[in-house]
């Protein structure tokens, strides 16, 4: 089970607390170590000082050669110092031992001092100690003080960090309220990125661009719904009207066959619209090509020309193929795109002219297939919309009984399925419309 992600406010506040705890802990631990090291150095220096003093007293007593004098000197000196311990022995015999207060913590040091008495030299074992209880107590107090400082500092920084994080994330809340008020039909009122922090501006710019694309899709969907209703209403009205008319009075078999033939034509048109819409829907959902093989594009164009041979002859037109390319494509889909392009060219070509299907390399990564015909130029304002569903460049819906305005939309879908694009140009008495396929 995936853990539920924390909010940005909680996550940043926790990071502030963790960072503060770690930082203060490191600093306070360093302070404690430095203080303990300074106390240790001080105690070492005190031991050195006491050792020098003891050696000086021993050297003075050595001149007199009297142990009783030595003991008297040491007792006078150490009797008032409860924080120093001294023990002197020679050959296992205890010569002197101070009597400091009981308890405490002692740092001890053993030294060997030569001692000459009655012409004989022996080694005195001297043990010197200093009481470190006071320093240890100070270190304990310092440790607890530092622990308290870490806890209090972490708490204060965490609370102020939460407040700062909440205040810093306030623009996100404002942005959320602004985006919640947006709608696809209000994309002409984008969010002003200059009202927000610099870090949020790229996100707002992308959101505005996305909203614009959504609005375009929204407008296209509304237009598409209206066009679908119009395209389906006409054949349905024809079906209902002819059927109602046929039922008004008894008809002969020949008359009923005529009505059925007319109805069949309208049903075929409805079926064509539904089939084309299903194909476009599948293509937009990313439906893959059924087959894929290296195919001669000129051969596919030749098959399409053969199919339209009778229509070309009836219109007094000719068609030819120029160029060729071997591409890894779905041959059936390529032929379908060429059917639509050549059908449009036959409808609008000038009589007794030649329609060209030009095939060649568009650039290093794709091949282009274009159908070129002579005829009336297309309005430049209409060129970008030629591949929209149900769009017709002509103002009137001429030929609407046979052509429902999805042919070029299907060409665009087929080009997209092959990793290509569509293009259209019109000028100089010629119209050039086609598509590209990616070179594999």
**Res 400: pLDDT:** 45
Task: Give Cα separations from 439 to 300, 365, 423, 434 (angstroms).
Answer: 17, 5, 17, 16
Report if residue 73 sits inside a domain: yes
Report if residue 278 sits inside a domain: no
**Res 184: pLDDT:** 59
Report if residue 241 sits inside a domain: no
pTM score of the predicted model: 0.52
The Cα–Cα gap between 369 and 422 comes to: 9
Q: Which residues of 216-236 are buried (b: 16+ CB within 10 A; e: fewer)?
A: eeeeeeeebeebbeebbebbe
Instruction: State whether 55 and 190 are in the same domain.
Output: no
Query: What average pLDDT values come out for the chain (440 residues) when binned by 10 residues?
Result: 61 81 90 90 85 78 64 70 78 75 76 72 81 86 91 86 78 75 65 74 79 73 69 79 84 85 82 75 70 90 93 93 92 92 92 93 86 92 83 51 72 90 92 90
For residue 38, give the CATH number of its domain: 3.30.450
Domain boundary, last residue among 168, 195, 219: 219
Report if residue 235 sits inside a domain: no
Report if residue 177 sits inside a domain: no
Beta-sheet pairing, 318-322 with 354-363: parallel
**Res 374: pLDDT:** 94
Which residues constitute the domain of residue 207?
184-219
| Contact criterion met (CB below 8 Å) for 437 and 308 | no
Instruction: State whether 116 and 194 are in the same domain.
Output: no
Instruction: State whether 151 and 188 are in the same domain.
Output: no
Instruction: State whether 63 and 205 are in the same domain.
Output: no
The Cα–Cα gap between 429 and 419 comes to: 30
CB atoms within 10 A of CB 204: 19
Report if residue 248 sits inside a domain: no
Instruction: State whether 80 and 116 are in the same domain.
Output: yes
The Cα–Cα gap between 339 and 274 comes to: 18
Q: Take residue 434 and report the two structure tokens written for it.
A: 């086609």
**Res 80: pLDDT:** 66
Instruction: State whether 195 and 88 are in the same domain.
Output: no
**Res 258: pLDDT:** 86
**Res 316: pLDDT:** 92
For residue 303, give the CATH number of its domain: 3.30.565.10
Instruction: State whether 126 and 196 are in the same domain.
Output: no
Report if residue 150 sits inside a domain: yes
Instruction: State whether 188 and 155 are in the same domain.
Output: no
Instruction: State whether 155 and 20 are in the same domain.
Output: yes
Q: Of 173, 186, 241, 182, give the one whose Cα is nearest residue 215.
A: 186
CB atoms within 10 A of CB 339: 17
Instruction: State whether 209 and 301 are in the same domain.
Output: no
**Res 1: pLDDT:** 44
Report if residue 171 sits inside a domain: no
Instruction: State whether 213 and 311 are in the same domain.
Output: no
Structural domains in the chain (count): 3
């Amino acid at each position: 089970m995936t853990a539920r992600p924390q909010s940005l406010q909680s996550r940043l506040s926790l990071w502030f607390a963790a960072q503060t705890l770690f930082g203060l802990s490191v600093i306070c631990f360093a302070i404690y170590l430095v203080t303990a090291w300074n106390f240790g150095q001080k105690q070492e220096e005190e031991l050195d000082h006491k050792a020098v003093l003891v050696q000086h007293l021993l050297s003075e007593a050595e001149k007199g050669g009297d142990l009783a004098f030595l003991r008297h000197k040491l007792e006078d000196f150490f009797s008032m110092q409860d924080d120093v311990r001294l023990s002197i022995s020679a050959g296992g015999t205890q010569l002197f031992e101070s009597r400091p207060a009981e308890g405490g913590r002692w740092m001890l040091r053993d030294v060997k001092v030569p001692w000459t008495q009655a012409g004989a030299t022996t080694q005195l074992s001297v043990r010197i100690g200093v009481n470190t209880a006071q320093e240890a107590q100070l270190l304990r107090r310092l440790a607890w003080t530092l622990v308290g400082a870490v806890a209090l500092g972490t708490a204060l920084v965490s609370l102020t960090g939460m407040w700062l994080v909440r205040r810093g994330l306030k623009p996100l809340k404002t942005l959320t309220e602004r985006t919640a008020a947006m709608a696809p039909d209000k994309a002409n009122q984008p969010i002003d990125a200059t009202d927000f922090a610099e870090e949020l501006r790229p996100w707002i710019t992308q959101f505005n661009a996305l909203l614009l694309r959504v609005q375009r899709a929204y407008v296209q969907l509304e237009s598409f719904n209206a066009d679908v209703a119009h395209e389906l209403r006409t054949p349905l009205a024809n079906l209902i009207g002819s059927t109602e008319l046929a039922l008004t009075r008894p008809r002969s078999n020949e008359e009923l066959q005529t009505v059925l033939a007319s109805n069949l034509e309208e049903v075929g048109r409805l079926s064509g619209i539904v089939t084309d819409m299903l194909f476009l829907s599948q293509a937009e959902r990313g439906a893959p090509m059924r087959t894929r093989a290296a195919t001669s594009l000129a051969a596919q164009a030749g098959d399409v020309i053969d199919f339209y041979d009778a229509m070309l002859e009836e219109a007094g037109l000719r068609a030819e193929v120029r160029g060729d390319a071997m591409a890894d494509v779905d041959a059936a889909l390529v032929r379908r795109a060429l059917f639509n392009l050549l059908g449009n060219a036959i409808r609008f070509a000038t009589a007794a002219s030649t329609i060209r299907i030009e095939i060649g390399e568009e650039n290093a990564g794709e091949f282009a297939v274009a159908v070129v015909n002579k005829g009336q130029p297309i309005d430049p304002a209409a060129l970008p919309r030629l591949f929209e569903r149900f769009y017709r460049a002509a103002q009137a819906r001429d030929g609407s009984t046979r052509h429902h305005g999805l042919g070029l939309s299907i060409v665009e879908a087929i080009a997209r399925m092959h990793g290509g694009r569509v293009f259209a140009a019109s000028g100089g008495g010629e119209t050039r419309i086609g598509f590209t396929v990616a070179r594999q």
